[in-house]
Amino acid sequence: MTERDPNRLPTNVVPSHYDLDLVPDLDAATFAGTAAITVVVTETVEELVLHALDLDIHEAWFESGGNRLDVTTTLHADSETATLALSGPAEPGAWVLHARFTGVLNDKLVGFYRSTFAGDDGVTHAIACTQFESTHARRAFPCWDEPAFKATYAISLVVADGLFAVSNAAETEVDHLDDGLRRVHFAPTMHMSTYLVAFIVGPLEASDPVDVDGVPLRVIAPPGRADLMPFALDVGAFSLRFLADWYGIAYPGDKLDLIAIPDFAFGAMENLGCVTFRETALLLDQDHATQAEQQRVADVIAHEIAHMWFGDLVTMGWWNGIWLNEAFATFMEMLTVDAYRPDWKRWVDFGLARSAAFDTDSLSTTRPIEYEVISAADAEGMFDVLTYEKGASVVRMLQQYLGEARFQAGIRRYLETHAYANTETTDLWDAIEAATGEPVRSLMDSWIFRPGHPVIGIARTHAADGAAAIEITQRRFGFAPDPRSGVQAASDDPRTVPVVLRVGHAEGTSLHKVLLAEESATVILEHEPDWIVGNHEGNGFYRVELTDGDLTAVGTHALTDLSPLERYGLVEDEWALVLAGRGSIARVLGLLRSLAADDDVSVWQRIAGVLAAIHRAAADDAQRDELAVWVRALVGPAFRALGDAPTEGESERTTALRAALFDTLARIGHDTEQKARAAAHFEALGSDPEATDPDLADAVVRVVAASADQATWDELRRRAGAARTPQDRMRFQGALADAEDPSLVMQFCPLVLTDEVRTQDGLFLLRRALANRHATPQVWAFIIEHWDALTTRFPSSTVPRLFEGVRGIGDPALAAEVVAFLEAHPLKQGGMVIPQHLERMWVTVALAQRVPAELAAALA
């Protein structure tokens, strides 16, 4: 007999429907519940094995028709399961498992948990809410908590009068009970996985529903937020219509609620019909929000609604496929928001997110997009930049290579074929292959199941007959860490790379597509090239390495002949080559000079990121002052060309560009005039929020925070406490970690262990403080001293994210101290991401050794 995988439930009992009745007690932070779970027994059994964690199962029985079997329950905390021993054999057929249970509304932001908020009256109110992905439904009710065990759910909630109750499906009826209680019933859901179940109870308010082609759409939030809901309703209605049309399938739920939760570990969660969000990702004052803040809210809403089909209707069979859910939803969020606001140029701006994926994927400790997931806990490692941004980039690369119409036809085929079912990644490639006739599976396997990405070398040559040609080569790209890290450079065999070149010549431009499967190939041209773009529109997930001559040539033509995405890619690739030990600061600064008159905010944001990294790695403050002179000469003319304030009819991206240039001038360019302007704006904004535009106001806060004295820091803290919108609260609270005075940063750190900083935000803000080079040693000492308190207070899944802050450490002694601490205090949830953070830290150490001499020579 084959031994059962201890990480998977047996399949001899399969659920088909859950009747759940939950009774949360918000004051006592407990809940009680009953479950009647209809199952199919496929072979005679004498026990059932299902999931249950942090539950007390007080009574259970198993019945079919008139046959009742008593149950003896044994809970197994290590495996998060319950064994239900039956009083007799259960023969194959339909049965119903009944259970009565209780549990605790925990404070860990998973399962059925308790969130709190302060009302306008200062009174603290509680909400009972859920977060079940990946494997936390078992904390709320006994269940078969694996994605392949799809079922329908009929949920009822017993709540006090005056409290709002919501779940996945529409409310159908209400029973009024004794003692001021009522039972709210919800319609049965579609066939779906346990991790998508949701129910929320609390003092909440809902917007009036918006009818979206027959689907009622609402935004739900704590009281007093009605004026922060219209933007989300507008984005939600557009996204719902756009996606139903794009997929060619009607929305699979009977209603759609978007719900703001005060304490929420993630950005949002795609529960069918009952999508939950952290407040900053849903509620927004459009008149006072930056373009980036509006875009983020639109992104997250579109992302979650995209999941209603891709993830909810069609679901991965096991957690190894979670990447496809998230990568495709990220791709669809870009597609949707680009359609919603074309002027935002969403695909151009995606370059910033893709840069973060490139950064991690350039390490030897990167991972394949999809990897074997043995236990459900292993799936937690998939919620990272490689899943979301690299995954979406690879999907975008495939879409652009196949063509948008053919790609869409393949997606529709996939969804129609597998609706209400579970799939593997290969099912998607097979559907697209069937729709297009292209070898999609073989192409994508080399990107999905292998880590890293290539650098494509570009060199001019001539064919044997003298025709102009380009030789392209590929090899795995990797950063160069300090030798003290012990990290060995990764190598790889060639993979199939869809390379698209764009070549400028005397007769115009020409495109050349090459499916590069070997180490090198030669592309024959009709004309001698004037300039070469190695990654047309930045669609390929690969780096490009140009010769010195070709970099100079393409830089000369960048502002006239290259798109913003292509210019962005030039900056991105040249800086990556520096980190790999192959490029030079001189090449980078030369390219930046050629882009000095660029008018795209995304390009300038990448330039600013490069300048900030150089600034950080400089030898000392004297060299930073020399760099600042160069930065002022580069950035000043572009800033002055835009003027001091927005003009009528100006695009939002232009307004954002002015703010980005202002920030760069003040903080990296050490521009005293702009710092003085920031101080004046900051004072004016204290009494008049209309004193300047939201984008510049956001930059003002960052500039003022950097040079804050005690009085200014106190004012930032006061504004954080008085903030009415979630964006303002995070703006001011985050700025407290940015002070150049370490003593001020150390006043902030203890706040993350108090109720002044929400649990959902604490580690992210502490990470920001750790990344502040002026206070890194002090913040690191704080983390060591308060390690037990930090790991107790915050959800274990979020603790590894704190260590992203060590990536900027350039001091080898401190780097070694970080490594030693983590070796002595290994994190259960950080098996993959912690080694990546540490390797990237050693890359920074190596960079700090090289930059001072190179920068001195380049500036001279």
Residues with a catalytic annotation lie at: 304
CA-to-CA separations, 794 to 265, 753, 761, 763, 791, in angstroms, rounded: 10, 9, 10, 8, 6
Going by DSSP bridges, is the β-strand pair 268-269/274-278 parallel, antiparallel, or unpaired? Answer: antiparallel
Give the 3-state secondary structure percentages of the chain, helix then strand then coil, rounded to 5: 45, 25, 30
| Amino acid code (one letter) for 201 | V
C-beta of residue 160 within 8 angstroms of C-beta of residue 23: no
Instruction: Return the structure tokens found at 314.
Output: 């069609």
DSSP state string for 211-243: EETTEEEEEEESTT-GGGSHHHHHHHHHHHHHH
- Segment (H or E) for 440: helix 440-448
Q: Which residue has the tokens 């202002």?
A: 662
DSSP 81: E
Give the list of residues 6+ apart from residue 150 with CB closer than 8 angstroms, or none: 191, 192, 193, 315, 420, 421, 422
**Of 528, 535, 527, 517, residue with least CA distance to 457:** 535
- Report d(CA 345, CA 602) in Å as an integer: 9
Phi, psi angles (nearest 5°) of residue 472: -115, 140
Q: Do residues 190 and 420 touch, judged by C-beta distance below 8 A?
A: yes
Least Cα distance to 138 among 82, 210, 192 occurs for 82
Read off the tokens for 519.
């180490």
Tell me which H or E stretch contains 746. helix 742-748
Smallest CA-to-CA distance from 671 within 695, 710, 638, 646 is with 638
Question: Is beta strand 215-221 parallel, antiparallel or unpaired with respect to 256-261?
Answer: parallel
CA 25 to chain centroid, in Å, comes to: 33
Torsion from C-alpha of 129, 135, 139, 145, nearest 10 degrees: 110
DSSP assignments along 272-302, one per residue: TTEEEEEGGGT---GGGS-HHHHHHHHHHHH
| CB hemisphere CA count around 615 (13 angstroms) | 22
Pairing of strands 468-476, 454-462: antiparallel
Both tokens of 488, joined, read 């060995």
Query: Phi-psi region for residue 606, left (φ > 0), alpha (ψ -120 to 50) or beta?
Result: alpha
From its phi and psi, is residue 354 left (phi > 0), alpha (psi between -120 and 50) or beta?
A: alpha
HSE-up of 489 (CA within 13 Å, CB side)? 12
Of the candidates 172, 195, 182, 151, the residue with the CA atom closest to the CA atom of residue 36: 151
The residue among 655, 650, 554 whose CA lies nearest residue 604 is: 655
Q: Distances in Å between the alpha carbon of 277 and those of 161, 266, 267, 392, 515?
A: 25, 8, 6, 21, 41
Q: What is the distance between the alpha carbons of residues 3 and 685, in angstroms, rounded to a whole number?
A: 67
Tokens found for residue 88: 């007799």
Characterise 360 by phi-psi region: left (phi > 0), alpha (psi -120 to 50), beta (else): alpha
Rounded to 10°, the helix 391-402/322-340 angle is 60
Q: 718: helix, coil or strand? A: helix
